[in-house]
A and B are shown apart, each in its own frame.
Chain A
Amino acid sequence: AQSVTQLDSHVSVSEGTPVLLRCNYSSSYSPSLFWYVQHPNKGLQLLLKYTSAATLVKGINGFEAEFKKSETSFHLTKPSAHMSDAAEYFCVVSDTSSASKIIFGSGTRLSIRP
């Protein structure tokens, strides 16, 4: 069985400060992990993915995430927040060998204060 827990439903940071969005997962398979971003009234866009290669994954717009198997975590970070980062972020886990089970976290809304 697989599950994903996004530990914060809402995160608020000041522009120019670091961003940390937390994600914990459980999986009985070899997991692939993804972060997607959803801007208001838009579809979902891939930020980055982990698929058993390097544990530190770099994505678009300066975001990165580190896969920590011992902690079953895949937290998303960015060194300096920008106003355009305000959006909803989803952590997703799937079985690497099959797309038959894909689980979304409940989402984290990121707000950026001027």
Chain B
Amino acid sequence: EAQVTQNPRYLITVTGKKLTVTCSQNMNHEYMSWYRQDPGLGLRQIYYSMNVEVTDKGDVPEGYKVSRKEKRNFPLILESPSPNQTSLYFCASIQGGGNQPQHFGDGTRLSIL
């Protein structure tokens, strides 16, 4: 089954404790992206990757890091999480250009205390 898998689905942690949210897709898609969703703001792009070893900032990259060492995986790293990073996070992938729909993971709800 074609899917985008995020882990963990839920996480409660404390300020400053490094965490990684994994994202994996099994569709051989070149493009992957991370979003955060906050009430009233829709989804805002954090980082995206057009292919292996090619990443770029989205609209809200501060406090986040990503890597793309292999095509299927695109982890999101919070080196020193802060409470303002409490949010719902989505990973997505696309095969092709901007005229193709995104495939989304089920989301990761992060709470930073």
> A interface vs B, CB < 8 Å?
6, 9, 32, 34, 36, 42-46, 49, 51-52, 90, 94-102, 104-107
Contacts and interface: CB of A to CB of B under 8 A. Distances in A.
A107 B42 contact: yes
Given A97-B97, A107-B40, 15 more contacts: A43-B105, A52-B99, A90-B42, A95-B98, A96-B98, A97-B98, A99-B31, A99-B94, A100-B48, A102-B45, A102-B98, A102-B102, A104-B44, A105-B42, A106-B42
Interface of B: 31, 33, 35, 40-45, 48, 50, 56, 90, 92, 94, 96-102, 104-107
B40 A46 contact: no
A49 B98 CA distance: 11
Contacts of B40: 9, 106-107
B98 A32 contact: yes
Contact of A51 (B33, B45, B99, B102): B99
16 contacts: A34-B102, A42-B107, A43-B107, A44-B104, A90-B43, A94-B99, A99-B50, A99-B98, A102-B45, A104-B42, A104-B43, A104-B45, A105-B42, A106-B40, A107-B40, A107-B42
